[in-house]
Structures are given as structure tokens and as C-alpha cells.
Amino acid sequence: MTDRNRMTMQDLARLAGVSKMTVSRALRDSSLVSEDVRKRIKSLAREHGYRINVAARDLRLQRRKTIAVVVEMSPTDERPMSEPYPLALLGGIAQELAAADYAMLVKVSGKITDDEVYGSDGVILLGQGAHEDAAEQLGRMGVPLVVWGSPTRAHQYVVVGSDNRHGGQLAAQQLLGAGRRRLVFLGDTDHSELSDRLEGFRPEVDRDGAELVAVEPCDFTSASAFEATGRLLRRGVEFDGVFACNDLAAAGAINALNATGRRVPSAVSVVGYDDAPMAAAYVPAITTIRQNWHSGGRLLARKILQLIRGETPASEALPTSLISRST
Amino acid sequence: MTDRNRMTMQDLARLAGVSKMTVSRALRDSSLVSEDVRKRIKSLAREHGYRINVAARDLRLQRRKTIAVVVEMSPTDERPMSEPYPLALLGGIAQELAAADYAMLVKVSGKITDDEVYGSDGVILLGQGAHEDAAEQLGRMGVPLVVWGSPTRAHQYVVVGSDNRHGGQLAAQQLLGAGRRRLVFLGDTDHSELSDRLEGFRPEVDRDGAELVAVEPCDFTSASAFEATGRLLRRGVEFDGVFACNDLAAAGAINALNATGRRVPSAVSVVGYDDAPMAAAYVPAITTIRQNWHSGGRLLARKILQLIRGETPASEALPTSLISRST
DNA sequence: TCAAGAAATGTTATCGATCACATGCGCTAT
DNA sequence: ATAGCGCATGTGATCGATAACATTTCTTGA
């Protein structure tokens, strides 16, 4: 009740001349308390800056109403900009959780072995792979778990992700439709989502009788794609179509092509991924595969809530669509 | 102890044939419990998937060790990609909080009046302005509060943000140094951070005897900057330097200039803001003002922890630096 | 007018972990 | 032999809110 220690319901009750039970009821808008008493207690609470003790309430109610979201990310001062997921994904999760009155506890990187994570009602893992073992452990402990990643592979846990296979198909169709015959895939296939895209991409190319002339590793930056494209060119690989792992990489590839006099899209076609805001701003505007991060987030949240309710949701792939621009 | 109800320390204690106090001590690695008992209890806990009840612990320990981060954002399915802050900012916050053993509760939009927010030890508000009243209320309730925004203005709460005024100065110096005399500011000055940039920008222009020929509203997208630049051109405004509110807007402006035959940087110079990954990937590579989101996040977290410890940290501006590229 | 029931308020036990304090046990020094 | 000490463990009270049950106050109909 002093400045140091927070006020409790008991304190408020004394102030209002009622029992703490009445205070509890009043603050929860119970119909069991008269209008005027409720008003008086609420205004007293506001006036004295009373804040409920969430831990006490949650203990008594045997609930937490909290979902932990673990984001795989390596943030350092030297390399501050590793941006694995757009905030929109978190936004989607948050929106759906908020609707169900759940809070979102975000844990960025670090070991998952954390009371706070274990203490929550469920865990959403952003970034498959890095946490394979952690995921398994969570499963063993009976913590509801949903993972953002590659939903096509079978796992013991629920996976939500965009339909990368279909994305790969769309990219192939786009490039082939533009008359391209010698295609290049730019990305690291150790990444399960990229490997899925390749699995959609390759058969489509084969079916058409065109050729996948190279799968060149590259990470999600323009500089890396610039270098990867340069490597191919120096190796003498001839190609007229590029499927890049994201829009930034697409831009890097285009830059490398232009630097050697190959024009986009007249000589070479390029397809990116994500439909990031920069894709439309780039010149030439980048043709890309859109994945809807926001609805992906919402889906993740819905799945975890289903698990908590004891249902058994299936893994699910989100639709992807081609945004055809200049490249 | 059944599948439905989670196991408690009491249950574990029975299993191990000790009292729950010993279990409590063992799990916390207290030196007051013998090596073999500790091991036995820990392996039992692992085996049975015991998870501590965080609410109970926090209630007893009178702590929460949780900071709420409120992100201003309007995520909808129609407009899913409003990306007000990079994840790096959250990453910085998370890193610093984790080091102090605090958890991060993220609330995206929605009303701030939420037990979970009030229940945490402190609140970090991302996005001034939108929450002026909420901020005031939090202050009245004695909730430690730190806001990301414009640190130059005086507020009753602590503000951390990049040094937008200095950023504006740097941009002006860059444009003037390139010999530009008729400058344009692209951005909505209702936004307090942009207004700060203008406050740094304008005097520098004046001092040099150059001219600020227009301040044109525009939001943080390339399309909006494209339009804004088009408006200026159509109005017949002549200018040779542009300071855009972010890198995406810079790209939009460049596109609009190129569309009317004005070359960048030969005829017009452009400076962006943020040093987003796309700034370097764009052609021509965009000259920009870098703000270090990650260390900004860390600073926010450090300030809130100081407030919680009863110290009185001051508002603080983060250094900005000019990244000189082609434009 | 008064019994009966509804409405408003109070009392007690409880959630699960932890602290302060007690107890038990083995060992050593006198 | 036993007082005295240190280490390992147990007991009871506690944190703040809420459900279940108990009690009081207010209405209303015969």
C-alpha cells in the first residue's frame, strides 16, 4: 500500500469499507454487486492506481493465457539487421491471440529452455531446423507446439507455412511462360522451405523440356545474390531465367546481370519471393511470389489454440500467388 | 498429476519420497540439498515432464520479471504489411531484457488497457503520438514507461529514439555538399520524428543560403513518394535535392524523377533514411541516414530496467550516421 | 404484517511455490 | 558421554485473488 509495495485488493477494500471479495467482484463487473458500489470501487481503484496482481489471479484461476513465440534470430551489434520474419507475422499471431484473450510472450533467440517458455500454455516456433531438438523436447513435455516452416514434410508437430512447393511451381510457370529455357535457382536448399520450392520448381521445368542449369547457394541478402550470380557467370554458365530466394536476392541478381551487360527482362527473366515492399519499388519492378505473412501468423495462432483446446489440427500450407511485374 | 492437470512439486515430492521443499531447493540448484538427491529429483522432473507453475512462483516471490512492449500497428488482412518497426528493434529489446532475466510480452495494437500490460513491471511503447493518453494514464498508475519516439521534445516520460535532428542535419550537409541549392523534404511533419528531422534540416539549408522549396507530405511507401514527387513536378516546383522520409520513399522519388527524364544523381540528389537492406540493393544505390534499430532496442530496455530499479534515466537520442552511396 | 425469496455482501479455503524457522542426524572436541 | 556445530531436510505461514458457501439486507406478495 505504500509507494514501494503495490496496493492489493485488501487495501482497496479497506478504503472502500467493503470486503475484498466485493472489490474483486466489482472490478470484474460482476452483476452481484450494486451499481453504486461498483462505481465507487472502480473510481477508487483508478484514483489510487490499483493494478491487479496477475500472478495471483492466474494461480487461483489455474490459467496463464499466454503463448510463447520463439523467434530464431541472431541479433548482434555488428550484424544488427538479420530480419528473418516481418513483423506482420507476429502481428497476425498477436491479433488472433488477442481475440482469444491470450497474451504473446516473445522470446528472441537464446535457448528455449526457459521457465517462461515452459510456463506458457503453448509455444509457437518461428524457424524450423534450428530448434529440431528443442521442438522434440517440448513435445515430450506435453507443451502444445506449432512451428512455422515447411508444412509439406511430415513431423510429429504441427507445421504452418506458405505453400513453397506451389510457389516454386508458379515461379517455373512464369519463367517458362516468358519463353525461358535455361533456368537457375538461387538459394540454399539446406533451408527446408527453399528445398520445397525447388521441389515444386524442378518438375515443372522438366515437364516443359526446359533445363535447370544450376542451383546456386545464396542467402537472403542482395550482396550474396550478387556474388552468387557473379560466380555462375564467371563459371560460364549460360542461363536466361532466375528464381531467387527472396526479392532482395532478386535485386542482387539483376544488378549482377546488368553489370555484365545482360538486360532484365529482355535477356534474362527474374522471379523473386515474398513480395516485399521493395519489390514494387525496384526498377525494373520485380515479379515475385507473394506469401501472406499476416494470415500465416493468424493461422499459427489458431492452430495453437486448437491444440490447447485438445483438438488435433493438421499441418497446413498457405496459398501463394504470383505477382507479375516487369522482370 | 493426471494427464489433465499438471504435475506439481507436491506430486514430484511424493514420487521422490521427499518433501516439496526439497524438490523446490533441488530444482533451483540450492546448495542445501545433497548431490544425489538433486540429481534424482531433476531426472524425475525431466522424466515426468514437470513444469514449474510460474504464476505461483511469481506470486510468492512478488515479482513478474515481465516487460510489456506495445507496438502501434494496424494489421489487417487487406493491408497486412504495415511494417512500422523492424524486428531488429524488438530483437534489441529482447536481448537486453533476457540478459536481465526479464521476459518480453508483446502487445500489437489494440487498447493498452489490459491487465496483462498493467500487470507487467514496465511498459515500452513503440510509436509515440498514437498513445499520448495511454502513456499519461500509465504514468499516473506508476507503471514505469519508456517510449520510442522523438527524444528531443520534453515529456513527462522517458523517450528514446534516434537523433532525428542530427539526421536532418547530415542529410542537408550531404545535399549541400553535392552542390544542391533547391531542396525538397518528403514526409509528413505531423509525425514527430519527421518534424525533428526537418528541424535539423531547415537551419542547415538556410545557413548555407540554399533554399527549402517544398515540404511535401508523404507516407513511408514508395508509391506515396512517387505520387508526392509527381505532384511537385506537376506544380512546376524546381528542385535538385530530395530528403525522403525513408529509403522506400527515396526509391519512389527516384522513380518519379526518372519517369520525367530527371537523372539521379546527375540532375537531382536524393537522401533516404533508415539504411534498410534495400537501400544498398537499389540502382542507383541510395545514400541514406542510418539509425541503429538494434542498439535502440537495447537502450529502450536498459532505460526501463533503470526505472524499475528506481533510478531516473534521461531521454536519449541515438547517434545517426550518413551512409554515402550513389544518390 | 411477516414469511419467503432475491439481492448484496462477507467468510473461509484454495491455487503452487518459497521463506523463515524448526528438527533430525552425523561428527568432533572436551 | 555429551554438548555443540554443520549439514540436510521438513513444517507452517505466506503471497493476492477467487470459488464456494454463509450470512445479512432488501423486496414483495398473501
Tell me what percent of the residues of chain B surpass a pLDDT of 90.
58
The CATH number corresponding to B66-163+293-318 among 3.40.50.150, 3.30.1490.270, 3.20.20.20, 3.40.50.2300 equals 3.40.50.2300
Residue type, A285: A
Q: Give the H or E element holding residue A34.
A: none
A–B CB contacts, 8 A cutoff, strictly below:
219
Cis? peptide before A284, omega within 30° of 0 = yes
CATH class of B9-61: mainly alpha
Q: How far apart are CA A33 and CA A207, in angstroms?
A: 73
Q: How far apart are CA A118 and CA B305, in angstroms?
A: 24
CATH for the stretch A66-163+293-319:
3.40.50.2300
CATH for the stretch B165-291:
3.40.50.2300
Residue among B52, B56, B106 whose CB faces A106 most closely: B106
Q: Which of B120, B88, B96 is nearest to B107 (CA)?
A: B120
Domain ranges in chain B are 9-61, 66-163+293-318, 165-291
Return all residues near A234 (Cβ < 8 A) that are at least 6 apart. Answer: none
Tell me what percent of the residues of chain B surpass a pLDDT of 70.
90
Over residues B83-118, the pLDDT tens digits come to: 556 778 888 999 899 889 898 998 886 666 677 677
Q: Is the CB of B31 under 7 A from strand C?
A: no
Q: How far apart are CA B51 and CA B9, in angstroms?
A: 9
Question: CB-based contact (8 Å) between A77 and chain B?
Answer: yes
Nucleotide with C1' nearest the B25 CA: C18
CB-based contact A165:A196 (threshold 8 Å): yes
Q: What is the mean pLDDT of each run of 10 residues along chain A (327 residues)?
A: 69 92 93 89 91 93 90 51 67 90 84 71 79 74 86 79 93 95 93 90 94 93 94 94 94 95 91 91 94 91 93 92 92
CB-based contact B313:B110 (threshold 8 Å): no
Residue among A98, A141, A294 whose CB faces B49 most closely: A141
B70 SS3 class: strand
For the CA of B69 and the C1' of D18, the distance in angstroms is 28
- Residues of chain B falling short of pLDDT 50: 1-3, 75-82
Question: CB-based contact (8 Å) between A284 and chain B?
Answer: no
Answer whether 0.85 is exceeded by the pTM. yes
Return all residues near A297 (Cβ < 8 A) that are at least 6 apart. Answer: A88, A89, A90, A91, A92, A93, A94, A95, A96
Residues lying close to strand D (Cβ under 7 A), chosen from 59-98 of chain A, are: 59-61
DSSP letters for A50-90: ----HHHHHHHHT---EEEEEEP----SSSTT---S-HHHH
pLDDT score at B265: 86
Q: Angle, nearest 10°, between helix axes A164-177 and A192-207? A: 40
Return phi, psi of residue B268, to 5°.
-135, 140
Q: Determine the distance in angstroms separating the CA of B9 from the nearest CA of chain A, rounded to an integer.
A: 14
DSSP letters for B264-280: TTTT-EEEEEE--HHHH
Determine whether the interchain pair B77/A295 forms a contact, defined as Cβ–Cβ distance below 8 Å: yes
Say yes or no: do domains B9-61 and B66-163+293-318 share a fold: no
CB-based contact B303:B315 (threshold 8 Å): no
Determine whether the interchain pair A81/B75 forms a contact, defined as Cβ–Cβ distance below 8 Å: no
Structure-derived torsion over alpha carbons of residues A176, A178, A180, A183, reported in degrees to the nearest 10:
-60
The fold adopted by the segment(s) A164-291 is Rossmann fold (3.40.50)
b/e sequence A108-119, b meaning 16+ C-beta within 10 Å: bbeebebbbbbb
Over residues B171-199, the pLDDT tens digits come to: 999 999 999 999 999 999 888 889 999 99
Question: CB-based contact (8 Å) between A92 and chain B?
Answer: yes
Determine whether the interchain pair A92/B75 forms a contact, defined as Cβ–Cβ distance below 8 Å: yes
For the CA of A32 and the C1' of C1, the distance in angstroms is 29
Determine whether the interchain pair A87/B86 forms a contact, defined as Cβ–Cβ distance below 8 Å: yes
Residue among A49, A54, A86 whose CB faces B140 most closely: A49
pLDDT score at B206: 94
